[in-house]
Amino acid sequence: MSHPLVVEAVQELFTPLCIYNNTEGDEDARAREAYAERSWNNPVVRVVDERRRDRTRPLTRQWSVAGIADLMVRSIEADDAAPPRWLTLLRETSGVPAREVETAIFGMS
């Protein structure tokens, strides 16, 4: 995800880690096996604690700004903590369908 607020949230609120799904016999393969993920499977985004337990339901097939923002908010709330308001707003506004967004033009003098 390249949305600047998603990038900021990942860098400031979490410790990002990428595990490749197309390797064999290495640390990535062992990590995949620990979570029962098949090789060459569709990407899965997880938020885990220091014991590598899922903090919340993993994100599958919702690879969007709204989906990843929702995952991050849910994982923070799982700790009974309040997520930053800007992240909550990102979750609430990024999934709004374009047909529900209105445009207004204001003249200035």
Rounded Cα distance, 64 and 71, in Å? 11
Domain tally, the chain: 1
The pLDDT score that the predictor gives to residue 74 is 95
Residue 109 counted as domain residue: no
pLDDT over 70 percentage in the chain = 100
Q: Which two tokens stand for residue 48?
A: 């885990």
pLDDT < 50 positions in the chain: none
Residue 80 counted as domain residue: yes
Residue 101 counted as domain residue: no
Residue 12 counted as domain residue: yes
Taking only the tens place, the pLDDT of each residue in 10-28 is: 999 998 888 888 888 899 9
Handedness of CA 95, 74, 6, 35 (dihedral sign): negative
Residue 8 counted as domain residue: yes
The pLDDT score that the predictor gives to residue 17 is 85
Residue 30 counted as domain residue: yes
- Containing structural domain, residue 51: 4-95
Contacts of 86 (CB under 8 A, 6+ apart): 5
| Cα-based distances in Å from 97 to 4, 10, 83, 87, 92 | 20, 24, 24, 19, 11
The pLDDT score that the predictor gives to residue 4 is 94
Residue 102 counted as domain residue: no
